[in-house]
Structure 1
Amino acid sequence: MSAVMITRKVRKWEKLPGKNTFCCDGRVMMARQKGVFYLTLFLIVGTCALFFAFECPYLAIHLSPTIPFFAALLFLFVIAMLLRTSFSDPGVLPRALPEEATFIEMEIEAANGNVPAGQRPPPRIRNVQINNQIVKLKYCYTCKIFRPPRASHCSICDNCVDRFDHHCPWVGNCVGKRNYRYFYLFTTSLSLLTIYIFTFDIVHVVMRSVDNGFLNTLKETPGTVLEVLVCFFTLWSVVGLTGFHTYLISLNQTTNEDIKGSWSGKNRVQNPYSHKNIFKNCCEVLCGPTYPSVLDRRGLMQDDMPVSATPAAPSSSSLSSSNPVPQTTKTTAPLIPNEHTPDDAKPSIADSAEKSPSPREELPPAQKVPPLASPETDAETALAKDKIH
């Protein structure tokens, strides 16, 4: 059995390292842990469905028909921003090729020189200048690259992400350079939708309580009670998250930089990416150009796949030619023909070949045949009998 290499063309997303999952032929890119994302989608869709089923019919008649209209617009915008954040490439950086990684390692060894045994090698960093300030680029031992400024390696997705903000399980993806604005728009619109539903839930209960009483209203509309509870506990977290990211955008700072204290630590290093103006910082983050993906997920590449070559099953004709099967058909003609044997009864050469046993077939033990007596032996036997008589 031997292996044969077959070259076939595959999409590049099929061979990308990391812990991401791809759908729709590489168009959709998410993290592998998507359980919390499904919970987010269920809470948003479920709460809005209850609002449209219980409150909207009553409020559209007794208050204004524009209430369900604006609720539908907010709901569609929230779902669009959620899917745009979850299904997009956050800015994953490609890993170095084996040749590139070898070259970088040689450069690092040449720069650091021989390190004595037992001594820790110096950190692998490079210094670049941004807005008259030195910024250190750290080396990623997994991706074998020097990460660009503001990039970091996500341990959950196992990829380096450009302008890494954080990994958000609620959207099932990393938040980085390419999807941060959509994440911010998602949290902002979700805050507005939560406030909108919570407010009109209270209005609905108050209006019906005037005629039916408060307790009877709660019994008649159990969906409203569930909506109020969900919105009440969601409101604080979502609105607080939106306020925190508004603060970060005004400073042109990421969550990762804020947690590590990169620009507010002991060294008091100023943020080189801030324009010292809130309006300019917000415009850069929210209105800047859309950066293309550097992965080329749907590009084609050649892949060598080993395939085990098994020998073909021999045909019946080859088996019969290589290993002839002995025939068991009996013939009435003698094995050694003589002149008394008629011509039609004489065995042919083919019949004798078929009758002859193969080397693998065991022959029955031969019977002992007494030797034929010669004429001289017969005479001596007769004289002996006469003497006896």
Structure 2
Amino acid sequence: MSAVMITRKVRKWEKLPGKNTFCCDGRVMMARQKGVFYLTLFLIIGTCSLFFAFECPYLSLHLSPAIPVFAAVLFLFVMAMLLRTSFSDPGVLPRALPEEATFIEMEIEAANGNVPAGQRPPPRIRNVQINNQIVKLKYCYTCKIFRPPRASHCSICDNCVDRFDHHCPWVGNCVGKRNYRYFYLFTLSLSLLTIYIFTFDIVHVVMRSVDKGFLNTLKETPGTVLEVLVCFFTLWSVVGLTGFHTYLISLNQTTNEDIKGSWSGKNRIQNPYSHNNIIKNCCEVLCGPAYPSVLDRRGLMQEDPLVSATCAAPASSSSNPVPQTTKTTAPLIPNEHTPDEAKPGIAASAEKTPSPKEEQPPDTKIPPLATPETDAETSIAKDKTH
């Protein structure tokens, strides 16, 4: 019997913790909950398809052929920004290795000292100075790390994300340091596309109503009515979201910081990341360097050995099989119900157990047992002698 070692290449994304899904050999990274993302794709693609099918032929003929061209370019840009936001790493921070986690725990215990029984230990916080201002770094009990400034743990993806803004179910991913600018460009371009389609839907209805009347136009173009309803209800939310993030970018602030009131609470702590200039803040957020991913999702890990056994039986093994015996070296453990005086002798008795040969007693001849008839005969003979 011989064994052959087979190794398999393992990518790091296969072993990453958290609640993310990976596709295309780790190139695509998303959250597990993607139902709302599919709804976003359906609404954008469906509305634009209706616009290209019903309005664009009429408008390109009666107004300008540039209308469908500009709509197509805007649609492609929206889809590119959406997919770039949804399929990228938002800035997930790797968790601490067991050795690193143990070292951090030792540092925390040494810093806090011995906590008396019944008292709550102090919070695990480190202070760093940024732009002459103290910023607290909180400890993540899941990732076993002190989170960098502006990082937070996403409860949906179960990962710490650098410069965490929020988890957006509409894009099916977290929004953080590495994909925030693409998310903002997606909302901005989607607002322009929604306004563009809504405006030319109204123009299309007005131009047709001049010749055929308003009611007849609505009957002939049911797709236009559906587009107007979809654009009307989505316009306010998309445009409002774009305006809110424009406000945050001008202050160099995240949605998470705005909700918690990190820089506008009772303490009135000044935002250490703001340059006190709208143009500088916008340039830093939208035009800053592209940060690489720290996960190295497609990197190779230690290969997992897979052992496959191949039968190579010799000729002698088939004729004279040798029985296999197993030896147990584990010591006997006394049972809880064993009497105390009997416990010390268990191990000794196990060691002095005789072999099978010693257990057989020596051969002894046992006389046959007497039957009742023979006993009576012997008693009669004795009486005669007397």
TM exceeding 0.5:
yes
1:281 Cα offset (Å): 0.2
Larger radius of gyration: 1
Alignment partner, residue 274 of structure 1: 274
8 Å Cα contact 1:251/1:281 also seen in 2:
yes
Runs of 4+ with deviation above 4 angstroms:
1-7, 305-317, 322-389
Q: Distance in 2 between matches of 1:88 and 1:287?
A: 18
8 Å Cα contact 1:326/1:357 also seen in 2:
no
1:114 Cα offset (Å): 1.1
Backbone CA RMSD of aligned residues: 14.3
8 Å Cα contact 1:3/1:306 also seen in 2:
no
1:116 Cα offset (Å): 1.2
Q: Distance in 1 between matches of 2:79 and 2:364?
A: 97
1:297-344 CA distance string (max 9 Å, x none): 0100114467696989999994xxx49999999999999999999999
The question of 1:41 aligning with 2:38 is answered no
8 Å Cα contact 1:91/1:177 also seen in 2:
yes
8 Å Cα contact 1:137/1:149 also seen in 2:
yes
1:4 Cα offset (Å): 10
8 Å Cα contact 1:166/1:256 also seen in 2:
yes
Equivalent runs, 1:8-87 vs 2, <5 Å: 8-87=8-87
Unaligned runs of 5+ in 2: none
Q: Distance in 2 between matches of 1:255 and 1:338?
A: 61
8 Å Cα contact 1:205/1:214 also seen in 2:
yes
Q: Distance in 1 between matches of 2:94 and 2:336?
A: 95
Report the 3-state secondary structure (helix = DSSP H, G, I; strand = E; otherwise coil) of the residue aligned with 1:10. coil
The 1:232/1:343 distance shift into structure 2, 3 A limit, reads: closer
8 Å Cα contact 2:8/2:306 also seen in 1:
no
Q: Higher mean Cα deviation, 140-149 or 329-338?
A: 329-338
8 Å Cα contact 1:4/1:307 also seen in 2:
yes
Report the 3-state secondary structure (helix = DSSP H, G, I; strand = E; otherwise coil) of the residue aligned with 1:138. strand
Q: Distance in 2 between matches of 1:310 and 1:382?
A: 80
1:348 Cα offset (Å): 61
Alignment partner, residue 298 of structure 2: 298
Q: Distance in 2 between matches of 1:92 and 1:341?
A: 56
The 1:12/1:212 distance shift into structure 2, 3 A limit, reads: same
The 1:259/1:360 distance shift into structure 2, 3 A limit, reads: same
TM-score normalised over the length of structure 2: 0.80
8 Å Cα contact 2:334/2:346 also seen in 1:
no
Report the 3-state secondary structure (helix = DSSP H, G, I; strand = E; otherwise coil) of the residue aligned with 2:305. strand
8 Å Cα contact 1:81/1:182 also seen in 2:
yes
Q: Distance in 1 between matches of 2:278 and 2:365?
A: 120
1:8 Cα offset (Å): 3.5
8 Å Cα contact 2:6/2:308 also seen in 1:
no
Report the 3-state secondary structure (helix = DSSP H, G, I; strand = E; otherwise coil) of the residue aligned with 1:127. strand
8 Å Cα contact 1:333/1:347 also seen in 2:
no
8 Å Cα contact 1:184/1:242 also seen in 2:
yes
Equivalent runs, 1:220-299 vs 2, <5 Å: 220-299=220-299
1:127-151 CA distance string (max 9 Å, x none): 0000000000000000000000000
> How many residues get paired?
386
Report the 3-state secondary structure (helix = DSSP H, G, I; strand = E; otherwise coil) of the residue aligned with 1:301. coil
Q: Distance in 2 between matches of 1:115 and 1:335?
A: 41
8 Å Cα contact 1:327/1:355 also seen in 2:
no
8 Å Cα contact 2:85/2:173 also seen in 1:
yes
Unaligned runs of 5+ in 1: none
TM-score normalised over the length of structure 1: 0.79
Q: Distance in 1 between matches of 2:332 and 2:165?
A: 98
The 1:348/1:93 distance shift into structure 2, 3 A limit, reads: closer
8 Å Cα contact 1:59/1:204 also seen in 2:
yes
1:118 Cα offset (Å): 1.4
Alignment partner, residue 109 of structure 1: 109
8 Å Cα contact 2:2/2:311 also seen in 1:
no
**Quick one: percent identity of the two aligned structures?**
92
The 1:358/1:221 distance shift into structure 2, 3 A limit, reads: farther
8 Å Cα contact 1:8/1:302 also seen in 2:
no
Q: Higher mean Cα deviation, 353-362 or 340-349?
A: 340-349
1:90-121 CA distance string (max 9 Å, x none): 00000000000000000000100111111110
